[in-house]
Amino acid sequence: MQRPATLTLSAGLALLASLGCSSPSDPAGAPRIEPATCEAPGYQVEREAVTINRVRASIRLPSGEFAVGLDIQVCGINNCTPGKTRDQGEVDVSLSTPLVLPALKYGDGFDFAELAAPLGSEAQQDLGELVALPLPALSDGAEFPKSGKLSNGDLTLELASNSSVEHDILVYRDEELVFRSVAIPVADSQQALPKSFGFELAYGLAPLGTTFCPPAKLSLKNTEHWPAGADVEVFVQGLNVNEEWAPYATWLQVAEARVSSDGSRIDTVSGGIPILSSLALRRK
């Protein structure tokens, strides 16, 4: 069973609104400064499993060197086989269990950005060459404020005054809970960023799984020199098999943005970032 490649922003925002991301008010209607409350929309639906016997790929660093010992996973939402790249950056994973929504995930969300490359239904699959993107050092990351802005690399997130921020503390230690971002070369990452989406900008983020309620505003440098006033769509990739905040191994539109009048930045104008994951943008 094939699922849609994406969901529209209007449908996604309507679902978020119906399930709740709001702050309480007093009887007179004036908002109280209390944390907002949100529920994950959830995207699980019935799907068929496919049988894949072997998955191969080769992973390099941006420098051209082989990515040796890099964490990889071949996962569906029903099962996951972990592994590491070999001496020549080789991925070679043999599988014995049919997978629902199979994908090769590479990078770990700690030292490297994590991306998911969806797999087809063929028994033998070779994804060719992938690029692993090192994240900035923890010492260069930005600490999360209770509200206000935090920036790293080209990206700035703005948290509301009543924002609730939840980290995946079962995965990340306290010292790893700093915001980090790295630009993803779209042309060299087509396995995870299919051409059919038309993405022109993409970023890997950490710590993965951090959620914001209400969703965080996003602002980023206009590195592609898009014209002032251009309308932009913002997507996150579903990296979690529980599919609470995004469908697994594909892209969900979560916001609309616009290039600033001076052409220097791209700022969200509706929606926002509900979860830290891989991020991609395209012009409308």
Phi, psi of 139 (to 5 degrees): -65, -20
pLDDT at position 76 over 50: yes
Contacts 24+ apart (CB under 8 A), 170-176: 171/109, 171/207, 171/208, 171/209, 172/110, 172/207, 175/138, 176/110, 176/138, 176/206, 176/207
Query: Which residues lie closer than 8 Å to 30 by C-beta, 6 or more apart?
Result: none
For the chain, the domains span 54-131, 138-283
Q: In this predicted model, what pLDDT tens digit does every residue of 231-269 receive, in sequence order? A: 999 999 999 999 999 999 999 999 999 999 999 999 999
Which amino acid appears at position 200 of this protein? E
Query: Which residues lie closer than 8 Å to 76 by C-beta, 6 or more apart?
Result: 49, 98, 99, 100, 101, 102, 103, 241
Helical residues (DSSP H) of the chain, grouped into ranges? 9-19
Rounded Cα distance between 119 and 97, Å, is 14
Q: In this predicted model, what pLDDT tens digit does every residue of 195-240 receive, in sequence order? A: 999 999 999 999 999 999 999 999 999 999 999 999 999 999 999 9
Give residue for tokens 């690399």: 153
pLDDT at position 88 over 50: yes
Helix (H, G, I), strand (E, B) or coil at 48: coil
Which amino acid appears at position 224 of this protein? E
Phi, psi of 171 (to 5 degrees): -105, -45
pLDDT at position 69 over 90: yes
Half-sphere exposure of 132 (CA within 13 A, CB side): 29
DSSP letter string, 161-216: TT-EEE--TTTS-GGG-EEEEEE--GGG-TTTS-GGG---EEEEEESTT-EEEEEE
Which amino acid appears at position 61 of this protein? L
Q: What pLDDT, on the 0 to 100 scale, is given for residue 5?
A: 39
To the nearest whole percent, how much of the chain has pLDDT over 70? 87
Nearest to 207 by CA among 117, 72, 113: 113
Q: What pLDDT, on the 0 to 100 scale, is given for residue 112?
A: 98
Which two structure tokens, joined as six digits, stand for 54? Answer: 């072997």
37 pLDDT band, cuts 50/70/90, is: confident
Rounded Cα distance between 76 and 43, Å, is 14
Helix (H, G, I), strand (E, B) or coil at 119: coil
Nearest to 218 by CA among 277, 141, 133: 277
35 pLDDT band, cuts 50/70/90, is: low
Angle (CA) 19-23-27 rounded to 5° is: 115
Q: What pLDDT, on the 0 to 100 scale, is given for residue 29?
A: 53
Q: What class has domain 54-131?
A: mainly beta
pLDDT at position 103 over 60: yes
13 pLDDT band, cuts 50/70/90, is: very low
Yes or no: say if 240 and 11 are a contact pair by the CB < 8 Å rule: no
1 pLDDT band, cuts 50/70/90, is: very low
20 pLDDT band, cuts 50/70/90, is: very low
